[in-house]
Amino acid sequence: ETFTRLKDDRHLAHIALDRAEIHVQLCLFEDTERLAAEAEERFGRLGLEKDRAEAVRLRGLALENRGDLDGAERLYREAAEADIIAELLDLDGCRVLELGCGTAAPGIALERAGARTLCTDYDPLALSMAGHNAGLNGCLALETHLLDWYAPDLHGSFDLVVGSEIVYFEKSFAPLLDVLCRYTTSGGRVILSDQGRPQMKPFLEMCRRAGFEHEERFRRQARFHQCGLNGFTATLGQAG
């Protein structure tokens, strides 16, 4: 009985930690803090210090960012990314893959501009929200897919791969780069946006070493709910 209880507690701790990682990627910092605190407490009881330290780090990241605009800031960055893409590319018939779609704002905007879009996320809740938002915007052909970067299972390649606020954790750099290499068609493009985190620079260097050309990096500022926000967008080209 004691062994079963410990096993269940460890399982619940890992679930809380996994969900905290998902919520921090969605910029939902209040939920991240709550889930990370739960994981920290459970791992502490189990004596799993390495896992507890990761929970502490996530909780600290959430506390650090609680003063930001939370999920609303992510919505701004997604909209800014879609606006930049529309300026750059002729999207008619373009096959697009969105990674870490969350609300799917970029995917929906690109679908409405003529692209054929597949929105992916690791969280089923995010995919439900993406599908709902697509329906509200008349994007009935937009597709969603549950995607694990560590075990990707997509078919075919894409002319354009986009992601907003997905370059967070160094441990995910290798699987994310693998997804980009697998699914970006020869001569295709990758467009990534974030708020200017330091993690983006080493990740872009990894992309360069993998054969991507770092074409452009934009910076935009806009007024949003009385706050000034900076958006950074990196564009990568896959060699043809």
pLDDT in tens, 108-141: 888 888 899 999 999 888 898 889 888 988 899 9
Q: What is the pLDDT of residue 151?
A: 95
Q: Can you name the residues that pair with 121 across neighbouring β-strands?
A: 146
Q: Are 110 and 116 in contact (CB under 8 A)?
A: no
- Which pLDDT belongs to residue 206? 92
Residues facing residue 160 across a β-bridge: 96, 189
Q: What angle do CA 225, 109, 83 make, to 5 degrees?
A: 60
With a cut of 60, say whether residue 43 has pLDDT above it. yes
Of 92-96, 160-164, 204-208, 220-224, give the lowest mean pLDDT range: 220-224
Q: Give pLDDT tens digits for 161-213.
A: 999 888 888 889 999 999 999 999 988 888 888 777 788 889 999 998 998 88
Helix (H, G, I), strand (E, B) or coil at 85: helix
Does the reported pTM lie above 0.85?
no
Task: Name the pLDDT band for 224 (thresholds 50, 70, 90).
Answer: very low
Min mean pLDDT across 53-62, 111-120, 217-226 is at 217-226
Residues of the chain with pLDDT > 70: what percent?
A: 73
Q: Name the average pLDDT for the chain.
A: 79
What are the C-alpha distances in Å from 7 to residues 12, 48, 188? 9, 12, 46
184-194/227-238 β-pairing: antiparallel
- The more confident residue out of 218 and 93 is 93
Give, in order, the Cα–Cα distances in Å from 177 to each of 55, 149, 209: 25, 9, 11
What pLDDT, on a 0 to 100 scale, did the predictor assign at position 70?
46
pLDDT score at 12: 87
User: Residue 217: its pLDDT value, please?
Assistant: 56
Residue 152: the pLDDT is 96
DSSP-derived secondary structure letter, 100: S
pLDDT number for residue 60? 86
Structure tokens at 166: 């997905």
Span 93-122, average pLDDT:
90
The per-residue pLDDT for 99 is 96
CA separation for the pair 47, 66 (Å, rounded) = 29
Lowest mean pLDDT among 15-29, 112-126, 143-157, 224-238: 224-238
CA 212, 213, 217 angle in degrees (round to 5)?
Answer: 120
> Is the pLDDT score of 234 beyond 80?
no
